[in-house]
Structure 1
Amino acid sequence: MADKNDGGDKTEAPTQKRIRDARKKGDVAKSKDLTSVAGLFVWLLLATFGAGFAGDRLAALFNTSFEAVARGLPFAQAWVDLGMAAFWLFVLLTALAMIPAALIGLAAEFLQTGAILTFEKMKPSLDKLNPMEGLKKMFSMDNLAELVKTVAKAALMLLITYLVLRASLPEIAAGMPTGALPTVQGVGRAGASEALRETGVLTSRMLAWTLAAFVVVAAVDMAWQKHSYTKKLKMSLRDIRDEVKENEGDPYIRQQRKAMHQEYAEQNAIGAARTANVLVINPTHLALALDYDPETCPVPILAAKGEGPLAQAMREAAEAAGVPIIQNIDVARALYERGQINDLVPRDMFEAIAEIILWARKERDAMMERRR
């Protein structure tokens, strides 16, 4: 009986190729709430340190309007001057609020997804016109989670606003004038700036508590997004087998596998040169490592062979390990062309190889004597 997972059950973790393919289509795990938290943090800083600046500018706008009335300017001219001043103040304050938040939001997106530019999701597709597909997405688990999250955030904001206002009511009441109502001119010249400062303090408190609450929401959302993303990309065993077959024909994968095999072979050759009985060279282009242990095999074995830079690396490794090195151009060329790695040396080369092994043994004995 076939394995249950042999068909379409997607129970296996996604491969790196599947994740890369999804990324090329713009499908990555990211939390919009994390971006919102970054924007809230910027607005909190602006409300904390920029409320005084905004209050002074608005108070100056009020003063300009009252001065225009006091100078007796015509209504049309005063209206135009005041309107232009109000417009440029609006542009300034909006730019100060939106540009830093937008830049920090882009940075938060980049930290989550990295550099990615794709128009895959903008391509026309029949699935986007299919009402059944639209209904499936509308009632999907992701959309349900978004709905719950939106309701939770709205409830949190209402609760925070209520609690902050209730806690601040004594301060607000203490700051209100008593007795007769103040004159409009007095409010414009003295009260506007102070009122705006108090509003900035109140806004900062609300933003601080909202930021703290949304940090928790963003952490939960990020965990959910990663879980949902991984679940969506899960594969069946058949998917994995199909991907392996596809990769076998991929030139990039073949080249990568060839490079890995070559690196592995080079490391083995250098290691074999360190432990060989003797290294035969020609004199710089070829290097062949020979092993000989009469107790296990009466015939020498070609442990490794290399050409060019690999031959030089084998020679350096053998010199560092104290392995005898002999230059024999004829033997090196013949053995490189005909010998197989980890196999016995060719039969017709036994005599020449035996002489080299004997020389290497004498060389080792001489080295031992010199060390004594």
Structure 2
Amino acid sequence: MAEESGGEKTEQPTPKKLQDAAKKGQIARSKDLGTAVVLIASAASLLIFGKMLAIAVLNIGQRLMRLDQKDIFEPNSMFTAWGDAGRELAAPLSGIFLLILVASFVGNTLLGGFNFSWEAAGPKASKMNPMQGFKRMFGLQALVELIKSILKVAVVVGVAYLLLKLFFMDIMALSLMSEPNNIESALYFLGWLFLGLCASVSIIAVVDAPYQLWNHTKQLKMSLQEIKDEHKNSEGSPETKGRIRRTQMQMSMKRMMQQVPTADVIVTNPTHYAVALKYDQGKFRAPVVVAKGVDEVAMHIRKIANEHKIPVLESPALARSIYYTTKLDHPIPEQLFAAVAQILAYVYQLKMYRKGKGSRPKSLAKDLPIPEDVRH
């Protein structure tokens, strides 16, 4: 029973599941919402540019119905007339088409946002499968679309009847009006009738949009096991993460050990801690920790130091303080400047003595000046 309950898709889709679905072109879309926005924009554009369009149509009609004597003997008069007609219609039609173009983009991205998927655009064998086609034709989604279509027809027919009944006397009065008022009024009534019909379609869109969101989420719901598997795949299994951490540590350790030969001195505990210090007066304002470690790592640092004849000095308190207060490739804190300065001075004097340029330095002080707040 536990396995069965784990397989039930009761959980909301994760952001990764939604993102993967979007890459495949599976997003919430409402065709009715896009259609309603385009139709309403078309009606609005007709109301906005209707008067300009009516004047253009009237001018074109007068131009084409008028035949001057010069037009009879002019072979290009027909082309000139069509050019005039195009110029008359350019402004109103451009405005109408621009509004419809913007509305088509906005209406189809209101739900689900803008999304383009090459995977969705590519051919799919399932779309050519007759059995899959029958399932789509007689499935739940097809039934919902059929019900919506019936409702749309019923709503549009009902609203059309009410609008025609409301404007019937005004429409009949158009025959008594003179031009261009009759054309302007006809386009005005046509725009409002069209807008009313389009608004009726928006009723279906208001119902369809939430349904499409709900249906999209339902299709992408996940089981608890799927969420666990997704988290495991995205974060990686503990074994894989452990191997990655070990590899990173090994690489970091290798880089650190490569810096030991560049150090000026190694300060030890003497067995448990070891820190390698490098001081370049022209480059650093303070000595920098190029390597540090405890136990086996400390022993390896001392081994490399002995191979490259780097001075190894015992100062347990200072070694612990530097180890716990300073990160790799970072300068030591100001509180340790005095103690480290004595270490570096001793190393410098020791180098000069070995080169025969000075006397043997005095033994390093056991109690170096280390403030209590940096002691460990």
Q: Assess same fold via TM > 0.5.
A: yes
CA RMSD between the two structures: 4.5
How many angstroms apart in 1 are the aligned matches of 2:41 and 2:167?
Answer: 23
Q: Which residue in 2 is equivalent to 1:59?
A: 58
Q: Which residue of 1 aligns with 2:105?
A: 106
- Aligned-pair identity in percent equals 23
Which residue in 2 is equivalent to 1:4?
4
Aligned to 2:210: 223
Which residue does the alignment assign to 2:155?
156
Q: Contact 1:19 / 1:233 at 8 angstroms: preserved in 2?
A: yes
Instruction: Determine if contact 2:159/2:200 at 8 Å carries over to the other structure.
Output: no
Partner of 2:320: none
Give the partner amino acid of 1:234: K
Q: CA deviation at 1:134?
A: 0.9
Structure 1 residues 12, 52: closer, same or farther in 2, change over 3 A? same
Q: Measure, in 2, the Cα distance between the counterparts of 1:198 and 1:84.
A: 27
Instruction: Determine if contact 2:32/2:205 at 8 Å carries over to the other structure.
Output: yes
* Count of aligned positions: 281
1:277-292 map, 5 Å: none
| Residues in 1 aligned to 2:23 and 2:367: alpha-carbon distance in whole angstroms | 60
| Structure 1 residue 34, shift from structure 2 partner | 2.7
Task: Tell me: CA distance 1:77–1:119, structure 2 relative to 1, closer, same or farther (3 Å).
Answer: same
Contact 2:174 2:182 in 1 (8 A): no
The equivalences for 1:111-130 within 5 A come to 111-130=110-129
The 5 Å alignment of 1:14-53 reads 14-53=13-52
Structure 2: which 5+ runs fail to align? Answer: 246-276, 278-285, 290-323, 342-365
Query: What secondary structure is seen at the aligned counterpart in 1 of 2:2?
Result: coil
Q: Distance in 1 between matches of 2:28 and 2:287?
A: 54
Question: What's the CA shift string for 1:10-55, capped at 9, x where partnerless?
Answer: 2221111111101111211122233223323322332222111111
Counterpart residue number, 2:301: none
Distance 1:308 1:110 in 2: 52
Please tell me the residue identity of whatever aligns with 1:245.
K
* Secondary structure of 1:57 counterpart: helix
C-alpha change, 1:147 and 1:98, in structure 2 (3 Å) is farther
Distance 1:218 1:91 in 2: 33
Match of 2:230 among 221, 243, 250: 243
**CA distance, structure 1, for counterparts of residue 207 and residue 287 of structure 2:** 63
Partners of 2:39 and 2:12 in 1: how far apart? 35
Q: Which residue of 1 aligns with 2:185?
A: 198
CA contact (8 A) 1:25 1:118 kept: yes
Report the alpha carbon displacement of residue 132 of structure 1 after superposing the two structures with TM: 0.9
1:160 and 1:206 in contact (8 A); partners too: no
- Listed one character per residue, the Cα deviations across residues 185-221 of structure 1 (whole Å, up to 9, x for unaligned) are xx9xx43x32321222212222332343333322222
Contact conserved, 1:65 with 1:78, CA < 8 A, in 2? Answer: no
| Per-residue deviation, residues 84-127 of structure 1 (Å, max 9, x unmatched) | 65566667655443332112321343454444322212322221
Change (3 A) 1:54 1:222: same
Which structure is richer in relative contact order (CA contacts within 8 A, separation 6 or more)?
A: 1
Select which of 289, 307, 327 maps to 1:307: 327
Stretch moving more, 201-210 or 125-134: 201-210
Shift of 1:235: 1.3
Query: Which amino acid in 2 is paired with 1:2?
Result: A
C-alpha separation in 2, matches of 1:325 and 1:226: 63
**TM-score by structure 2 length?**
0.59
